[in-house]
Chains A and B, each alone.
Chain A
Amino acid sequence: MSIKDRLSGNEAIATAMRQINPDVFAMFPITPSTEIPQFYAQYVADGKVDTEFICVESEHSALSACAGAEAAGCRAVTATSSAGLSYMNEMLYVVASSRLPLVLAVSNRALTGPININHDYSDSMAERDSGFIQLYAENNQEAYDNYLQAHRIAEHPDVRLPLMVCEDGFITSHALENIELEEDEAVKDFVGEYHPENYLLKSENPLAVGPYGVSGYYMEARVAQAEAMKNAKRVILEVAADFEKRFGRHYEFFESYRMEDAELAIVLMGSSAGTAKVAVDELRAEGVKAGLIKVRVFRPFPGEEIVEALKNCKAVAVLDKSEGFSANGGPLFAETASAAINLEKRPKMIDIVYGLGGRDFTVGHAKRVFARLAKIVETGETGPIYSHMGQRDLRKEVQ
């Protein structure tokens, strides 16, 4: 039986961690993810977990300590945000290429500058090529559910890749909302124990960790890592199917909301999707064939599947909550548009960068996006492909 409760996203993730009781949690605090180790420290103090809880002196060290623990065959976790994730950058690549399947909770926050503590995806998007699997959540429930599925995906023998469970900083991490939690025993049974096939300290089947890769071998290691990321697609769906069988909540690579006959569609991520759903409902009530796709899995990117869901649309807006400074659109747009490149008949596609540094995104904003898509269909003119929305001066915006 699930337990009805009300928790912030941070407490939901800390609760999932408590239920899983990992071997090692190495932490260095940073807003807005600080509460995750803070709640966890209380669980340690109260004897609810027997995790080795290590307070280190930086995020680089936090991930290094987790890497060491994983290399020794342990299940390790940590949490961070923003500059903390950037400071882990070097170790993210080490962890992923060493095939150490730790789980990293990220409360997404903008990167400097100007200095800002609020939400956008610039921190985790900057690490999209690190080799981590990335899951994103609309609310506290999805953050909790993604966390419960994370270790099984990461640790699967065909995957063995680290994984980021991302939630929207403050918007989700600090918002108290209703949630359904699962019983501790049911969670432990679903997640299972971690028994890696080989690791550094396993005498009967040891693993070399961090060796030099000469040119004659480096590429094979990278291809194997790329194959593992492809395998993750199958495993993500298998784990989601078992999750649904046990707990009743359905997950895929992305959520298709009222997409069956949609002509105008938005592709976006996280809490903004919940807000945009209300705009879709209101427009549907007016007879507009609107729909949206909420991307849950950004790495591996489900390009073929998203394009399949979008192929009958007339116009699509991809909403990027990070600015990649490519002068050619944000990362979600780049992935979505390139996946569509070989379609015979493609929808017209635009990119809108929005919500940077916590700039609010409302139902009204989502409706303005749909109005622009309707105008594109009506006139046949795509207009500027890449623009910014939600600026202080409305006159600067493409209408």
Chain B
Amino acid sequence: MNNMIEIRWHGRGGQGAKTASQLLADAAFMSGKYIQSFPEYGPERSGAPITAYNRISDERCSIHSNIYEPDYVVVVDETLLESVDVTAGLKKEGAIVINSSRPAAELRPLLRGYEGRVFTIDAGKISKKHLGAYFPNTPMLAAIVQVSKCVEKEAFLKDMETSYRHKFAKKPQVVEGNLNCLAEAMEEVKE
């Protein structure tokens, strides 16, 4: 299918990779796209590696298999680089975005020969600054939108504000922190 973007998320149970994948689908849906967001479940344990997926397209996609040749990969926990082949099948015209305080050049040797673009972002630092706790999925969501351009930036920030105001209707004080988190992540993600 033309214009379809396929994204694979790698995280650990409890870090919110599945939720981030759903929020990305939400944002793409609000911009008029057809979306899929689905998790791949094994035995459910906090801290175990989990995978989640997104398909974003202009027409409904009828494929319901996992994604083996993604355009983009998001790694929410950099310790997974040692145990999971996160770049498996990743298109070299695409990119990988990794949550790390280290620069991309330092991580490339861990990527089993991946030739495409490598981005990093210190999602933990941004999250702690704006949310006061370790919620890496919010900055990672903004980072993948920035890198993949799957949703237009201004529309994304506006739609996320609507979404957060709805989601946190009983805790409006956290909306601003989440929005700042997104905005800073979009600036801070570096190749």
Contact = CB atoms under 8 A, between A and B. Distances in A.
B63 A275 contact: yes
Contacts of B34: 177-178
Interface stretch (A91-99, A339-347, A357-365): A357-365
B29 interface: yes
Q: Which 3 residue pairs are nearest across A and B when measured between Cβ atoms? A: A274-B62, A175-B38, A271-B64
B146 interface: no
29 contacts: A6-B25, A6-B35, A118-B41, A168-B64, A170-B39, A170-B41, A172-B64, A174-B38, A174-B39, A175-B36, A176-B22, A176-B36, A176-B38, A177-B35, A177-B36, A177-B60, A274-B62, A274-B63, A274-B64, A275-B62, A275-B63, A275-B65, A278-B63, A360-B66, A361-B65, A362-B65, A362-B68, A363-B63, A363-B65
Contacts of B60: 177-178
Contacts of A362: 65-66, 68
A332 interface: no
Nearest to A277: B62
B71 interface: no
Contact of A6 (B26, B39, B41, B68): B26
B178 interface: no
B62 A138 contact: yes
B29 A178 contact: yes
B25 to A, nearest CB: 5
B31 to A, nearest CB: 12
B120 interface: no
Contacts of A274: 62-64
A6 B37 CA distance: 10
Given A118-B41, A139-B64, 18 more contacts: A6-B25, A6-B26, A6-B29, A6-B35, A138-B62, A176-B36, A176-B37, A176-B38, A178-B29, A178-B60, A274-B62, A275-B62, A275-B63, A278-B63, A360-B66, A361-B65, A362-B66, A362-B68
B: contact size bracket: 10 to 19
A: contact size bracket: 20 to 34
Contacts of A64: none
Contacts of A108: none
Contacts of B64: 139, 168, 171-172, 175, 271-272, 274-275
B62 A175 contact: no
Given A6-B35, A170-B41, A171-B38, A176 B25 contact: yes
Nearest to A272: B64
Interface of A: 6, 117-118, 138-139, 168, 170-172, 174-178, 271-272, 274-275, 277-278, 360-363
B53 to A, nearest CB: 9
Interface string B30-51: 0000111111010000000000
Contacts of A278: 62-63
Contacts of A271: 64
A131 B63 CA distance: 32
A6 B38 CA distance: 12
A380 to B, nearest CB: 32
A141 to B, nearest CB: 9
Nearest to A176: B37
Nearest to B37: A176
Contacts of A178: 29, 34-35, 60
A361 B64 CA distance: 8
Interface in B88-111: none
A178 B60 CA distance: 8
A139 B61 CA distance: 11
Contacts of B62: 138-139, 274-275, 277-278
A175 B63 contact: no
Contacts of B63: 274-275, 278, 363
A363 B69 CA distance: 13
A175 B39 CA distance: 7
Contacts of A171: 38, 64
Contacts of B41: 117-118, 170, 174
Contacts of A277: 62
Nearest to B21: A176
Contacts of A177: 34-36, 60
Nearest to A273: B62
Contacts of A6: 25-26, 29, 35
A170 B38 contact: yes
Interface string B4-34: 0000000000000000001001100100001
A389 to B, nearest CB: 13
Contacts of B29: 6, 178
A4 to B, nearest CB: 9
Contacts of B37: 175-176
A361 B63 CA distance: 10
